[in-house]
Amino acid sequence: MTILTMRLMGVAAACAIFSINAVAEDSSLTNPAISAVLEGYYQSAERPMSERVEGFGLGHTEVAMSANIDDMFYGKLTAVIEMHDGETELGLEEAFIQTLAMPYGLSMRAGRFLSDIGYLNNQHVHTDAFSDRPAAYRAFLGSHYFDDGVRLSYVAPTDLYWTMGVEAFKGDNMRAADEHNERDFKSTGVYTAFTKIGGDAGINGSWQAGLSYLRNENGRMTAEEHEYAAVLEEHEHSHSAQYTGENTYVADFVYKWAPNGNYKYQHLSISGEFFRVTDFKPLEEELDENDAYGDEGKDYQDGWYLSGVYQLSPHWSAGLRYGQVGTQLMLDDHFDPQKLKETEVSLAWHQSHFSTVRLQYTNQQGSNFDGIEDDNIITLQYVMTLGAHGAHQF
For 147-197, write each residue's pLDDT tens digit.
Answer: 999 999 999 999 999 999 999 999 999 988 776 676 788 889 999 999 999
The domain defined by 39-57+94-387 folds into: Porin (2.40.160)
pLDDT at 147: 96
Nearest Cα to Cα of residue 315 among 347, 271, 344: 347
Per-residue pLDDT averaged across 216-224, rounded? 79
Q: What percent of the chain has pLDDT over 70?
A: 81
Q: Are 95 and 248 in contact (CB under 8 A)?
A: no
Q: Where are the domains of the chain?
A: 39-57+94-387
pLDDT band at 225 (very low <50, low <70, confident <90, very high): low
pLDDT band at 223 (very low <50, low <70, confident <90, very high): low
CB atoms under 10 Å from CB of 55, counted, come to 11
pTM for the model: 0.86
pLDDT at 24: 40
DSSP code, position 335: E
DSSP code, position 318: E
Q: 86 pLDDT exceeds 60?
A: yes
Spell 354-392 as b/e; 16+ CB within 10 A means b: eebebebebebebeebbebeeeebebebebbbeeebeee
The region of weakest confidence among 76-90, 206-220, 372-386 is 76-90
Per-residue pLDDT averaged across 124-139, rounded? 94
pLDDT band at 253 (very low <50, low <70, confident <90, very high): very high
- CA pair distance 188, 364, nearest whole angstrom: 36
Identify the burial level of 8 via C-beta atoms within 10 angstroms of its C-beta, where 0-12 means exposed, 13-18 middle and 19 or more buried: exposed
- CA pair distance 180, 223, nearest whole angstrom: 12
pLDDT at 353: 86
pLDDT at 262: 83
Q: Which helix (H) or strand (E) holds 22?
A: helix 3-25
pLDDT at 82: 80
Per-residue pLDDT averaged across 104-131, rounded? 95
β-strand partners of 21: none
Three-state SS for 24?
A: helix
Q: Are 376 and 106 in contact (CB under 8 A)?
A: no
Q: Are 143 and 124 in contact (CB under 8 A)?
A: no
pLDDT band at 30 (very low <50, low <70, confident <90, very high): low
Nearest Cα to Cα of residue 145 among 166, 174, 119: 174
Nearest Cα to Cα of residue 260 among 326, 314, 204, 342: 204
Q: How far is CA 126 from CA 61, 121, 144, 358, 382, in A?
A: 9, 12, 11, 12, 10
pLDDT at 330: 75
DSSP code, position 295: T
Q: Are 168 and 190 in contact (CB under 8 A)?
A: yes
pLDDT in tens, 359-375: 999 999 986 687 777 89
pLDDT at 366: 83
Q: Are 213 and 219 in contact (CB under 8 A)?
A: no
Spell 197-223 as b/e; 16+ CB within 10 A means b: bbeeeeeeebbbebbbebbbbbbbbbe
pLDDT band at 15 (very low <50, low <70, confident <90, very high): very low
Length of the chain: 394
pLDDT at 391: 67
**Residue, of 320 and 50, whose pLDDT is higher:** 320
Listing DSSP states for 37-69 in one string gives EEEEEEESS--TT-S--SEEEE--EEEEEEEE-
Nearest Cα to Cα of residue 134 among 276, 32, 308, 273: 273
pLDDT band at 90 (very low <50, low <70, confident <90, very high): confident
